[in-house]
Amino acid sequence: MLRIKAFVFRVLQSIFTLCDLHLSHPLPQRVSFTRTIPSSTGSTGSFDILFYTPSSYSQNPPKRHPILINFHGGGFSIGHARDDARWATAVINRTSAVVVSVNYRLAPEYPFPVGIEDCVSAVLWLWQHADEFNLDISRTAFSGFSAGGNLAYAVAIRLHEELAKMKAQQDVRIGQLVGLVVFYGSVDWRQSRAERDASNPNLIPVIPANLFKLFDESYLYPTPDMSSPLLSPGIAPSQLLKDALPDHLVMINCAGDQLLAENEVFKTRLRSLGKTVEGCIIEGVGHAWDKKPSFKRGNVKRDEAYELAIKGLEGVWGKGDGLVRRNS
């Protein structure tokens, strides 16, 4: 039954996204090219990664491009890597970066932690194939929206664990995670949906309860430890956050979101750990406000938020050294 419900909501969501990406102006850039890659961390299988390249893109040295690896939203159960095409377009229009959006496998067919494992596999695969795509993996950053925001943190933590295992391996290419950009991600799964709603007196309801139910029953099966750092990075051990997360983060939160309170608490905690956390709270909007079709009206708040986030990325990317590092 969950699979049938997920299928129905995926169809509805794809129509919604179609209106945004094909009927709202200006139109975002199309995917430059796609690769299908294997999952090398955890469960076996394969999935697609979508490349968005800037006009300056070249696969020929000496110019290497910083890389932004993006994780889409959708409650881990719906959505597609192309959903964030507007964000990818904004990044490649402003910077020389290559954006790679990960089409990780979805629940209920692939519950926690498969999505995380796919995303970690994508990072490692891109690092190993940096020469092929002319990527400067010393300037790797992650971005994510909603569930993808949770993944941005979880992937950084899981990647930290994988890299510790890889230290003894020879001739393995290791990049450097220099920044995170997170839009309204969940960071504390210990709280129920009702508790999250109650935490925000200015809540603007966006997602119906039956869709939340689908998300939670699909992804969290069998019921995991909700305090796991891979689910609730907001309460992860301090030393793990210091070691696994980059020094620079951007958090874009929504004033009318049920996730606002936990994100603001996490922001304060990260700053207390010495992290630089930029960003803002977008007033008068609810969860995923930037994904609504705007047609000919445009979306000024979305454009301003994306601009702020890109400035944060420019700060961490700088000029870079363009080197591909290897274990030796």
Q: How many domains does the chain have?
A: 1
Q: Is residue 202 part of a domain?
A: yes
Q: Give the pLDDT confidence score for residue 328 in this predicted structure.
A: 31
Q: Give the pLDDT confidence score for residue 281 in this predicted structure.
A: 98
**Do 138 and 176 contact (CB within 8 A), yes or no?**
yes
Q: Reply yes or no: is the peptide bond before residue 113 cis, omega within 30 of 0.
A: yes
pLDDT tens-digit map of 53-108: 999 897 776 689 999 999 999 999 999 999 999 999 999 999 999 999 999 999 99
Domain range for 151: 2-317
Report d(CA 109, CA 148) in Å as an integer.
Answer: 18
Q: Give the pLDDT confidence score for residue 63 in this predicted structure.
A: 82
Q: Is residue 84 part of a domain?
A: yes
pLDDT (mean) for 34-49 = 97
pLDDT of 319 strictly over 80: no
pLDDT (mean) for 156-174 = 88
Q: Give the pLDDT confidence score for residue 325 in this predicted structure.
A: 36
Q: Give the pLDDT confidence score for residue 235 in this predicted structure.
A: 98
Q: Is residue 322 part of a domain?
A: no
pLDDT (mean) for 24-50 = 96
pLDDT of 324 strictly over 60: no
pLDDT (mean) for 31-51 = 97
Q: Is residue 327 part of a domain?
A: no
From start to end of the chain, where are the E strands?
33-38, 46-52, 65-71, 98-103, 135-145, 177-183, 248-254, 276-282
Average pLDDT, the chain: 94
Q: Give the pLDDT confidence score for residue 327 in this predicted structure.
A: 38
Helices (H), 51-208: 85-94, 114-128, 130-133, 147-166, 193-198
Cβ-based neighbours of 289, under 8 Å, separated by 6 or more: 206, 254, 282, 301, 302
Q: Give the pLDDT confidence score for residue 61 in this predicted structure.
A: 66
Q: Give the pLDDT confidence score for residue 320 in this predicted structure.
A: 41
pLDDT tens-digit map of 254-294: 999 999 999 999 999 999 999 999 999 999 999 999 999 99
Using alpha carbons, select from 290, 222, 220, 202 the residue that is nearest to residue 75. 220
Q: Is residue 8 part of a domain?
A: yes
Only one residue has tokens 């009318």, namely: 256
Q: Is residue 291 part of a domain?
A: yes
CATH of residue 207's domain is 3.40.50.1820
Using alpha carbons, select from 37, 151, 33 the residue that is nearest to residue 98. 33
Q: Is residue 326 part of a domain?
A: no
Q: Is residue 125 part of a domain?
A: yes
pLDDT of 167 strictly over 90: no
Backbone φ and ψ for 137, nearest 5 degrees, come out as -75, -5
